[in-house]
Structure 1
Amino acid sequence: MLSKLIFSAVFLFTVSIAFSQTDDGRKLSTKLIKVDNKIYMLQGKGGNIGLSFGNDGVFMIDDQFAEHIEQIQDDIKTISDKPVQFLVNTHFHGDHTGANAVMAQTGTIIFSQNNVRTRLEEMRESEKKKIPSEMLPMITFSEDMTFHYNGEKIYVFHVHNAHTDGDAMVYFTNSNVLHTGDVFFNGKYPFIDTENGGSVKGVIEGLSKAKLIINEDTKIIPGHGNVGSYSDLQKTIDMLSNTYKRVARSYINKNTEEEVMKMTDLTKAYDAEGYGDGFITTEAFIKMLYGEVAKERSSIDSNDEKNRKALEKIEQMKKERSEKQKN
């Protein structure tokens, strides 16, 4: 159910920028931001789109919602009349893949990590409303792939069980620009889709992997939020690590979820910086953290219980042996 809601448009982020008018009269807010000489970020209702412009054509990362793609295409044409030749989906959520079918019908070739296509296929089967098969990525990969396009090497790599189980990041090596997809929410608490393979530890590991590839001068296009930096990425890693450890300590101390939700000190410093003002509230973030801790601790506690019983059995055997020797 959660996946269905997400795909149908659960992310409706609003940006305070100039408005454009759609055919049906609704206002769509978009902003095209120059990140580097050839790389742009397009903000609108949905995940941030990445765009590479050059002599070969247009390379696109994510495409937001189908109902807004006409405006997005018009925005792209203000920079280049060349076609969008390639599109990479960073994961399967609808605010990043909703316009896939429209893009495919214009001749764009869609790429993704294997699990993205699998998730989209599952949703096509479960949805009562028919979703066109064109929305499925045509080419998939397991770990990574490289494009040589618009005069630069574009490295696309998988990060495991982070925001989802099919996340990909895209690094423009010459321009030194990284698109993270939703593994990185800049300055806000992230949504981590734990029902579809995501995990807090996976996000931390994924961002740490990205740090090994980029450098301190890299410009970062997040899944949501403004263009970030290497230090912004590190700040998110620290935020996730710190809050997770605090919630874990509370869980170990036998605090219930309800009790932990009332512990405002857990996230006080980050709340003061506006982290809870995004789509994911402080309460939703702490609830997710508690669930992740409980999931991890359940296996640990189970093993501890097994070890305890094993020790009790050994002690009982020693006692029985001692009794026999006395007799």
Structure 2
Amino acid sequence: MALLMRIFATGMLLLFTIAGKADEQPDPQFEVTQVAPGLYMLSGVGGFVGGNIGLSIGPDGVVIIDDAMPPFLDKLTAKIKTVTQQPLDFLINTHVHGDHTGNNATLGKQGVRIVAHKNLRQHMVSKGIPGVDGVIDAPSEALPVITFSEEMTFYLNNNTANVFHVAHAHTDGDAVIHFRNLNVIHTGDVLFNGLFPFIDLQSGGSIDGYIAGQKQILAKADNGTKIIPGHGPLASKADLEAAISMLEETRDIVAKLVADGKSEEEVVKLNPLTKYEKWSWGFINTEGMTRQLYKGLKQAM
């Protein structure tokens, strides 16, 4: 897991810097996009800072969704202050990975109340937090103090925010946040917009669970829905539909080869996902996606 997360961070750094000059040193920053009244997306530009962050601001307080990685906390705090001077009240973690939970301990010490699926807390307690520098122990301040099994709802800032679980998708502790009256959904890493997804098979994720989770989200979307993905640009219903179609098609291609009794190396040599090259990025190219699908399908057998 530690190795996977280090490769993941390297891939994300490549994703955000690939358009820059080779001799430039990345200087990651946060960019703020207003998605709806009182609701913002904070994303990294110029380097990898972690997953896309949601921020709900209003008279009842501030709710942040995910919190990036420790080296970028000062930049994150400064960027938040450009849209509000209010302190953070609640932090919702979409899943356990350190690029989404890296600042839990610091924010927890500041009195921010952390909310997550019960499996995320259990993972932190029993296994620690997987991050780019390996798995680290989770201090008590980093742990969620409010957990849920299936769903819960925030009635804050004149919004109804439904937080619901999608089972065995990216991990076994994924949370998706649906701001119903704003028609905005934050998916966490159950959507990598325009990119091959990372499905953490070692942390309870699965291919079919990932697809089912995306379809749960799709059922709540319409043509006007704005979707904040775990990584990649702000998405639409059409983007989510494209992601589901790609994953179903690539799964079926590799599944047929698995059913034919081919080994992982034999399948990789065939390069069966060539037509999906446009979904490749620094961490997962067509070979990486083929291997991920093969391992996931074999694990499910």
Fold match by TM threshold 0.5:
yes
1:10 Cα deviation from its structure 2 partner: 4.4
Is 2:57 the counterpart of 1:53? yes
Is 2:112 the counterpart of 1:108? yes
1:169 Cα deviation from its structure 2 partner: 0.2
Query: Could you say which residue in structure 2 is the equivalent of 1:42?
Result: 42
Work out the CA distance in 2 between the residues paired with 1:76 and 1:92.
22
1:142 Cα deviation from its structure 2 partner: 0.4
User: Which whole-Å deviations, capped at 9, do the CAs of 1:261-297 have from their partners, x for residues lacking one?
Assistant: 1223x322221x2x11242222111101111222334
1:129 Cα deviation from its structure 2 partner: 6.3
Query: Could you say which residue in structure 1 is the equivalent of 2:125?
Result: 121
**Paired residues of 1:145 and 1:155 also in contact (CA < 8 A):** yes
Q: Structure 1 length normalisation: TM-score?
A: 0.82
1:69 Cα deviation from its structure 2 partner: 1.1
Query: Could you say which residue in structure 1 is the equivalent of 2:276?
Result: 270
- Alpha-carbon distance change, 115 to 129 in structure 1, aligned in 2, over 3 angstroms: closer
- Alpha-carbon distance change, 5 to 135 in structure 1, aligned in 2, over 3 angstroms: farther
User: Which whole-Å deviations, capped at 9, do the CAs of 1:116-146 have from their partners, x for residues lacking one?
Assistant: 0011112349989664210011111000000
Cα RMSD between the aligned structures?
Answer: 2.3
User: Which whole-Å deviations, capped at 9, do the CAs of 1:6-61 have from their partners, x for residues lacking one?
Assistant: 667943524369xxxxxxx9833221122222211111211111111212221110
Is 2:286 the counterpart of 1:282? yes
- Alpha-carbon distance change, 260 to 143 in structure 1, aligned in 2, over 3 angstroms: same
Point out where structure 1 has 5 or more consecutive residues left out of the alignment.
18-24, 298-327
Show the 5 A alignment for 1:120-269: 120-124=124-128, 131-264=138-271, 266-269=272-275
SS in 1 for 2:36: coil
**Paired residues of 1:8 and 1:94 also in contact (CA < 8 A):** no
Q: Structure 2 length normalisation: TM-score?
A: 0.88
Point out where structure 2 has 5 or more consecutive residues left out of the alignment.
19-24
Query: Could you say which residue in structure 2 is the equivalent of 1:78?
Result: 82
**Paired residues of 1:6 and 1:93 also in contact (CA < 8 A):** no
Kindly indicate which of the two structures has a greater share of residues assigned to helix: 1
**Paired residues of 1:217 and 1:229 also in contact (CA < 8 A):** yes
Amino acid at match of 1:75: K
SS in 1 for 2:231: coil
Amino acid at match of 1:180: T
**Paired residues of 1:153 and 1:173 also in contact (CA < 8 A):** yes
**Paired residues of 2:50 and 2:68 also in contact (CA < 8 A):** yes
**Paired residues of 1:40 and 1:52 also in contact (CA < 8 A):** yes
SS in 1 for 2:182: coil
Work out the CA distance in 2 between the residues paired with 1:208 and 1:183.
10
**Which of these two proteins has the greater Rg computed from alpha carbons?**
1
